[in-house]
């Protein structure tokens, strides 16, 4: 089974569920799907460098435009020859628009680093927790139809994000996959406000697309833009978002003759997916079912779930037919003393390194079936040693635990792809 699309092809459709195995083909290489996309906010994952990341078979890395705008800025990255050269990564990169962060950080602490590396959904949670902190202060100066003007949390410098500035920045970065500028749909606000916000997000996404198509033509290069579906937990609005953004006037279902884009080429599922897993699954099931109606039968379109990538949620994504999702989950988990084990079995769980019982585990690596440099070979590090490094807050602990957790996610995804190919999932 294959499709004629040069950007995305489906290699196998499971006979058991909607799960599928495919390939996203970019100028910097192939991304096998389903796949997990770790978040390297500032052009790096916390604790490991990009060369190590590539050796762990991380095929797609997520970076945040908002943070890269604040430092080092678009010009510095452009002068370096693009983001891949600047951060010394040969493989594909996806960047977001900056919209989510700028809206998430509307009234959050101004201390540098407080929110770095956190997923958008975690940001909402943190923002809620920080409401009463004395140093809370709005960084957003103005929101208009044009875009958002805000102050850098780092040095107070005035910055502007519009659909055009965001897409131009992502073009200059040379990102393989670009996310259009969107508005974070507020929660717990009147329906009229939600509807207005959705309409504006759609207008911003279409302006982003226009800018992307013009820049692609000028540079004669093929970067790929996904649309971002919004609508929160309201299924009517979700439907409206899909009707608007998957309209053939703005969505590219088939290859163009000149190879240059003429529409959105993938689907990112964004916005609030509710406050618990049940709500999230209701929205996702509705979305995936409706997408089947909207996408012509002989066409294949890659989809990406924005900002969710914990093991429990991902287990439920597989049968829906998800292709990629991003999260800071394995890196955050590692920093907090939790290590992923059992990925090779297809059913990963976590092991806490915090317990003193770990001290007795001198002869045991974290996972005997893991092929990461921490667990494998005669010099494998023991659980006891990792426990010691964690307790002493050694930076080396962050490096070793992050290498292991990220590799576990990659092993899990490979196992999942094999099981889908065998129609076991």
Helix 383-391, helix 395-421: angle, nearest 10: 130
Identify the residue whose tokens are 């065998």.
422
CA-CA distances (angstroms) from residue 391 to 331, 356, 386, 422?
Answer: 17, 10, 9, 43
Q: What does residue 122 show for φ and ψ, rounded to 5 degrees?
A: -65, -35
Whose Cβ is closer to Zn ion: residue 305's or residue 372's? 372
In the complex, the smallest distance separating the C-beta of residue 316 from Zn ion, rounded to whole angstroms, is 25
CA-based nearest residue to 98, from 62, 49, 122, 135: 62
SS3 195: helix
Whose Cβ is closer to Zn ion: residue 277's or residue 364's? 364
Gap between the Cα atoms of 122 and 43, Å rounded? 19
Q: What is the largest CA-CA distance in the chain?
A: 64
Q: Which letter, b or e, does each residue of 358-378 get, where b requires 16 or more Cβ atoms within 10 Å of its Cβ?
A: beebeeebbbeebebbbbeee
Whose Cβ is closer to Zn ion: residue 374's or residue 389's? 374
| Residue 376 in tokens | 């494998």
Whose Cβ is closer to Zn ion: residue 245's or residue 366's? 366
Whose Cβ is closer to Zn ion: residue 160's or residue 369's? 369
Cα distance between the two ends of the chain: 17
| Residue 246 in tokens | 């998957």
Whose Cβ is closer to Zn ion: residue 306's or residue 400's? 400
CB-CB contact of 262 with 256 (8 Å): yes
SS3 206: helix
CB-CB contact of 215 with 224 (8 Å): no
In the complex, the smallest distance separating the C-beta of residue 343 from Zn ion, rounded to whole angstroms, is 9
In the complex, the smallest distance separating the C-beta of residue 404 from Zn ion, rounded to whole angstroms, is 4
In the complex, the smallest distance separating the C-beta of residue 377 from Zn ion, rounded to whole angstroms, is 11
Q: Indicate if 326 belongs to the active site.
A: yes
Whose Cβ is closer to Zn ion: residue 383's or residue 420's? 383
* Interface residues toward Zn ion, by CB under 5 A: 370, 372, 374-375, 404
Instruction: Please tell me which residue in 96, 176, 182, 367 is annotated as part of the active site.
Output: 96
In the complex, the smallest distance separating the C-beta of residue 373 from Zn ion, rounded to whole angstroms, is 8
In the complex, the smallest distance separating the C-beta of residue 52 from Zn ion, rounded to whole angstroms, is 13
Q: Indicate if 247 belongs to the active site.
A: no
Q: Count H helices, E strands: the chain?
A: 14, 18
Instruction: Please tell me which residue in 176, 182, 323, 326 is annotated as part of the active site.
Output: 326
Sheet holding 29-33, edge to edge: 8-13, 20-26, 29-33
Q: What does residue 66 show for φ and ψ, rounded to 5 degrees?
A: -55, -50
CA-based nearest residue to 309, from 318, 299, 300: 318
In the complex, the smallest distance separating the C-beta of residue 416 from Zn ion, rounded to whole angstroms, is 18
In the complex, the smallest distance separating the C-beta of residue 6 from Zn ion, rounded to whole angstroms, is 36
CB-CB contact of 38 with 328 (8 Å): yes
Gap between the Cα atoms of 401 and 386, Å rounded? 8
Whose Cβ is closer to Zn ion: residue 60's or residue 411's? 411
Catalytic residues: 96, 326
């Amino acid at each position: 089974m294959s499709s004629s699309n040069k950007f995305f092809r489906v290699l196998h459709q499971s006979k058991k569920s909607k799960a599928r195995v495919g390939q996203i083909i970019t100028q910097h290489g192939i991304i096998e799907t389903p796949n997990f996309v770790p978040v390297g906010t500032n052009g790096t994952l916390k604790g490991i460098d990009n060369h190590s990341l590539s050796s762990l078979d991380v095929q797609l890395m997520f970076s945040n435009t908002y943070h890269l705008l604040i430092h080092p800025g678009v010009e510095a990255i452009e002068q370096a020859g693009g983001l891949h050269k600047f951060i010394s990564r040969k493989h594909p990169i996806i960047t977001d628009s900056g919209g989510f962060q700028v809206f998430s950080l509307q009234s959050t602490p101004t201390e540098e680093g407080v929110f770095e590396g956190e997923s958008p959904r975690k940001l909402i949670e943190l923002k809620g927790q920080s409401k009463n902190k004395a140093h809370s202060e709005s960084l957003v100066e103005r929101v208009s139809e044009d875009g958002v003007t805000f102050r850098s949390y780092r040095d107070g410098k005035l910055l502007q994000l519009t659909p055009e500035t965001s897409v131009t920045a992502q073009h200059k970065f040379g990102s393989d996959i670009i996310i259009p500028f969107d508005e974070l749909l507020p929660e717990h606000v009147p329906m009229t406000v939600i509807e207005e916000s959705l309409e504006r997000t759609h207008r911003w996404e279409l302006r982003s697309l226009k800018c992307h198509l013009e820049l692609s033509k000028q540079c004669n290069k093929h970067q790929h833009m996904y649309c971002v579906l919004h609508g929160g937990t309201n299924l009517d609005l979700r439907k409206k978002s899909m009707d608007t953004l998957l309209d053939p006037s703005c969505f590219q279902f088939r290859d163009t003759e000149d190879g240059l884009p003429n529409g959105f080429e993938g689907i990112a599922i964004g916005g609030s997916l509710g406050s618990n897993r049940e709500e999230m699954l209701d929205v996702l099931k509705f979305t995936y079912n409706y997408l089947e109606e909207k996408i012509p039968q002989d066409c294949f379109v890659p989809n990406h779930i924005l900002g969710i990538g914990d093991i429990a949620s991902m287990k439920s994504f597989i049968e829906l037919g998800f292709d990629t999702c991003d999260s800071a989950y394995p890196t955050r988990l590692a920093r907090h003393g939790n290590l992923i084990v059992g990925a090779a079995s297809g059913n990963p769980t976590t092991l806490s390194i915090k317990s003193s019982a770990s001290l007795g585990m001198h002869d045991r690596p974290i996972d005997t079936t893991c092929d990461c440099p921490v667990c494998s070979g005669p010099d494998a590090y023991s659980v006891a040693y990792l426990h010691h490094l964690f307790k002493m807050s050694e930076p080396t602990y962050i490096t070793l635990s992050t290498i292991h957790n990220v590799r576990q996610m990659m092993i899990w995804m490979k196992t999942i792809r094999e099981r889908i190919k065998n129609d076991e999932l």
